[in-house]
Amino acid sequence: MTHEPQIQILPQKHRSIFFWFLVAVFLIALPSLIFYTTGYRLSFENEETSIVTTGGMYVTTDNLEVDVYLNEGQVERPRLFRSAYYIQNITADQHRIVVQSSGYQTWAKVLPVDSRVVTEVSAFNLPERAQIRPITLYETATGTSVYFSNKIIDKVFAQATSTETFYYSTSTATITLQINSEFLFVESLFGTTSTSTKSIFSRLLDEVGKFGFATTTPEKETAGITPIQRTLRGDMELFDEEGELYAKWLGSSAAIPYYFCISSSSVASTSQRYGEHVAAAVETARQSTSTPLLIDNNRVCRTQVKLDRLRQDVFYYHFFPNSSDLVLMQLQDGIYVTEIDDRAWQNTQLLYPGTDIKTIVENDVIYIKDGEYYFQIVTQIETN
């Protein structure tokens, strides 16, 4: 007859000894844990062991299949965060962070890392070749877009890739085809809500020539003068003023995005760490009554950032779909996406090239009209 093993309860005396042993281990290890978590490290680079302070960097990406480099060294793929990299033990200094992937445009910045501080940054990578989905008036019974001329190949698809199959018909007969209701919807968008083909700077000159220079502040509406166009997403606002494009934070100081803020320092130090344009913007905000600086312990935070329009006129702008940190801009030679974060510089990437185009964002979908053709822009490479 087999007997089941009997598990005896640990005696009270042994349990007490084990408990106090663990307490002692914890108390001994606690200083080392505090030492490590607050950014201090032992350095063995020199002959003498020394204590150095380090910081960290938290990098979020909009694409899972990317490679992240810190100062030319590739960062190991994160295990806990699918779309974020937490890089530890970074020495306090300027560091270059690069995010890249095959088939996508490269994102890069040079940012300061301070001791015992985690620097936040968000990267984005658009396809190197424009990805578009055709929207045609006629389609087959299976929903395949139909063109009646192969000129579409040279006109559009010489510089873009279609995410869906299409074909062009040698016949103009449409009896076997069906009307695409999406085409009628998109066509109506451009017919009723599309902005003028003039840039915001040209529209400004028209108003100046028509009414003279305004004597009041641009935000105030004067009789007969068109007020500034404003676009909101949450507490973030986009607006154009005197031909320039700006992003402004309207929410509380506690929730202000990290890229509006820098560590408090002198003008020369700010210029060296974040760029001359940031230092100049901080000093302008310091003297402003309409967009003053927000002071938060050792940080100073602006509430307004000017966007880089690549020295071109802006014909259309909107928030990039599903983001309040990226801005879509139609410029003279194409449609671009820029980040609001202007620390070091603003990464600006081409989404779709062209000069004879119009743009509309409807329900976070980007539609374009290129000549006589309509498309939806797809912002990520689609894989089958």
Give the amino acid at 76. Answer: E
Calculate the average pLDDT of the chain. Answer: 84
Q: Which long-range contacts (CB under 8 A, 24 or more apart) does 193-199 make?
A: 193/360, 194/358, 194/360, 194/369, 195/315, 195/316, 195/358, 197/315, 197/358, 198/315, 199/243, 199/313, 199/314, 199/315, 199/332
Crossing angle of helices 276-286 and 267-274, in 10° steps, is 140
Among 83, 103, 123, the domain-final residue is 123
Q: Which long-range contacts (CB under 8 A, 24 or more apart) does 36-45 make?
A: 38/116, 39/115, 39/116, 39/117, 41/89
Residue 214 lies in a domain: no
Is the sign of the CA dihedral 229, 294, 114, 31 positive or negative?
A: negative
**364-380 per-position pLDDT tens digit:** 999 999 999 999 999 88
Instruction: Indicate the DSSP class of residue 104.
Output: B
- pLDDT for 226 equals 42
Rounded CA-CA distance 355/371 in Å is: 9
Instruction: Indicate the DSSP class of residue 33.
Output: H
Residue 97 lies in a domain: yes
What average pLDDT does the segment 310-332 reach? 96
In which band, very low, low, confident or very high, does the pLDDT at 336 lie, cut at 50, 70 and 90? very high
Going by C-alpha positions, the residue among 123, 120, 94 that lies closest to residue 258 is 120
Rounded CA-CA distance 324/307 in Å is: 14
* pLDDT at 131 exceeding the cut of 80: yes
Residue 160 lies in a domain: no
Among 123, 142, 158, the domain-final residue is 123
Count of residues in the chain:
384
Residue 237 lies in a domain: no
- pLDDT for 179 equals 96
**HSE toward the beta carbon, residue 350, CA cutoff 13 A:** 13
- pLDDT for 43 equals 47
**103-113 per-position pLDDT tens digit:** 999 999 999 99
Going by C-alpha positions, the residue among 284, 294, 219, 229 that lies closest to residue 257 is 294
* pLDDT at 32 exceeding the cut of 50: yes
Among 275, 301, 327, the domain-final residue is 301
Containing structural domain, residue 55: 42-123
* Number of domains forming the structure of the chain: 2
Q: What is the CATH number of the domain that holds 47?
A: 2.60.40.10
- pLDDT for 31 equals 60
- pLDDT for 37 equals 54
**38-93 per-position pLDDT tens digit:** 545 444 455 554 444 578 999 999 988 899 999 989 998 776 677 889 998 899 89
- pLDDT for 49 equals 46
**HSE toward the beta carbon, residue 266, CA cutoff 13 A:** 3
**247-273 per-position pLDDT tens digit:** 999 999 889 999 999 987 788 999 999
**136-185 per-position pLDDT tens digit:** 999 999 999 999 988 898 889 999 999 999 988 888 888 999 999 999 99
Residue 81 lies in a domain: yes
Residue 377 lies in a domain: no
Percentage of the chain surpassing pLDDT 70? Answer: 81
3-class SS at 184? helix
CA of 334: how far to CAs of 113, 155, 267, in Å? 35, 15, 36
* pLDDT at 2 exceeding the cut of 80: no
* pLDDT at 3 exceeding the cut of 70: no
Residue 8 lies in a domain: no
Residue 111 lies in a domain: yes
